[in-house]
Structure 1
Amino acid sequence: MASTGGEGPVAAGAAGSAGPAGAAGAAGTGAAPGAGTDGRDEVDRITAAWARVRPDLDVAPLEVLSRVSRLAHHLDRARASTFGAHGLERWEFDVLAALRRSGPPHRLTPSQLLPQTLVTSGTMTTRIDRLAARGLVTRQADPGDRRLVVVELTPAGLAQVDAAMASLLEREASFLDGLSRRDRDRLADLLRALVRPFELPG
């Protein structure tokens, strides 16, 4: 998940600053970032301030999308920290995880890796080279077609991505501690409906 920073694109543009403190100041609240004792969070304060100074605007989208943006920022930091603890960069985890998910023998062609990692073929070649130099993957001829090259997880790569994934799930589960199983399922359904239009084939 890409880091959005501060309020994220929507709220940053609306409040005039990319950082939470700047957004609060621009909104005129003077409040510190984060949730207060009244249960309101920074987005509540920003939207209330905009509703006060621009009552002609419908700020309802900020209620949802600014929180999604802020959550993405926190998740991005948590993932970077988790992967770093296992000696991996985020892009390294992405490639290794794609190979791991493919199942035994954990082997894919570079072209099969591209849509799962959302990078160009040139970038993928460089990433495979770096992972191979670390002993986490190997590059070899495809047993079914010697004209093709396949990338395969090494035992070291498999162990590293498995350990990182277990830590990631434990870390991210803590983000959902305040929600019941039913609420989690409902939230997943709502987010799926929100994201789906952006991921439909063009």
Structure 2
Amino acid sequence: MKRSVATEKAPGLSGRTSFAPACTHAARAREESSRLARPGDNGQGEAAGPRHPDTAPAGVLNLNAYLMYTMGKAARRRLSEKLTARGLRLWHLTAMAMMADLGPQPKGTLASRLDMHASDLGRIVNDLIKAGHAECVRRPGDRRHVHVQLTPEGWSALDSLNADVASADDDLLAPLSEAERDQLGSLLRRVYTHMASAASSVVQEARV
């Protein structure tokens, strides 16, 4: 069985702690209360949208972008729940999948492939090492460079995570037949590839 999962561009690391002078706390609290009081705001600066798809106006249900946004939030929530239960986050899964697909690699290379800052990737790798899922090694013939790779325990954990992801898929795609799920996956991969190609072109133009 192929030990890999489809990777995706995930948001930056969460859970960082910031420290502000005490005099700003009251002002921030007032600002937060005001922001949360605004209708249609989810507290993160974006419209929350209907909590359940069946409450959405009929007009927006004809918009593919809206449907992908709403279903994407539901998928992310279910996946996050599965990962949190194991003490992991989406970035951990993505890094493990990349190592499974491409083998041992330097941290810098892994960070570049995941489009992450090196310090962020370092924290992810450290988390995986502490969990026993990854290790840093010096490869024969390349002793100057340290590579990070999955441990046997990491491979086993990734297999279990794949099963968790599959169960989340089953939950989300329950109304679809097996053939319809395959078709949906194919279409989504085409759209993803198109978007990734467009993003790569923008980055290359910016470097010129």
With normalisation by structure 2, the TM-score equals 0.64
What letter corresponds to residue 142 of structure 1 in structure 2? Answer: R
Q: More deviation in 161-170 or 93-102?
A: 93-102
SS of structure 2 residue aligned to 1:20? coil
In the alignment, is the contact (CA less than 8 A) between 1:86 and 1:163 conserved in 2? no
Q: Compute the displacement of 1:97 (Å).
A: 2.1
Q: Check if 1:34 corresponds to 2:53.
A: yes
Distance 1:131 1:145 in 2: 23
Q: Paired residue for 2:99? A: 99
- Does the 8 Å CA contact 2:138/2:144 hold for their aligned counterparts? yes
> What does residue range 1-202 of structure 1 map to in structure 2 within 5 Å?
18-21=47-50, 33-35=52-54, 42-44=56-58, 47=60, 63-102=63-102, 106-200=103-197, 201-202=200-201
- How many Å apart are 1:43 and its aligned residue? 4.6
Which amino acid in structure 1 is aligned with residue 69 of structure 2?
Answer: S
Q: Which deviates more, 169-178 or 74-83?
A: 169-178
**Corresponding position of 2:4:** none
What residue ranges of structure 2 are gaps of 5+ in the alignment? 1-7, 12-39, 202-208
1:71 aligned partner, one-letter code: M
Count of equivalent residues: 160
Deviation at 1:118, TM superposition (A): 2.7
Cα deviation digits, residues 87-138 of structure 1 (max 9, x gap): 3222222222222233xxx422223322443312222122222322333211
Partner of 1:165, secondary structure, is: helix
Q: Is the 2:60–2:66 contact (alpha carbons within 8 Å) kept by the matching residues of 1?
A: no
RMSD over aligned CA atoms reads 2.9
Structure 1 gaps of 5+ residues are 4-10, 22-31, 36-40, 49-59
Q: Is the 8 A contact 2:53 2:70 kept in 1?
A: no
Q: How big is the shift at 1:78? A: 0.5
Q: Which of the pair has more CA radius of gyration? A: 1
Name the CA distance, whole Å, in 2 between partners of 1:34 and 1:118: 32
C-alpha spacing 1:129/1:43, structure 2 compared with 1 (3 Å): same
Shift of 1:73: 0.3
What CA distance in whole angstroms lies between the structure 1 residues aligned with 2:166 and 2:72?
Answer: 16
Contact 1:43–1:66 (Cα < 8 Å) also in 2: no
Structure of higher RCO (CA pairs closer than 8 Å, 6+ residues apart): 2
Cα contact 1:139–1:152 (8 A) shared by 2: yes
> Match of 2:138, SS?
strand
In the alignment, the residues of structure 1 paired with residue 98 and residue 90 of structure 2 have an alpha-carbon distance, to the nearest angstrom, of 12
Percent identical: 21
Give the secondary-structure state (helix, strand or coil) at the position aligned to 1:118.
coil
When normalised by structure 1's length, the TM-score is 0.66
Q: Are 2:106 and 2:148, in contact at CA under 8 Å, matched by a contact in 1?
A: yes
Q: Which runs of 4+ in 1 moved over 6 A?
A: none
Question: Partners of 1:90 and 1:186 in 2: how far apart?
Answer: 25
Secondary structure class of the residue paired with 1:152: strand
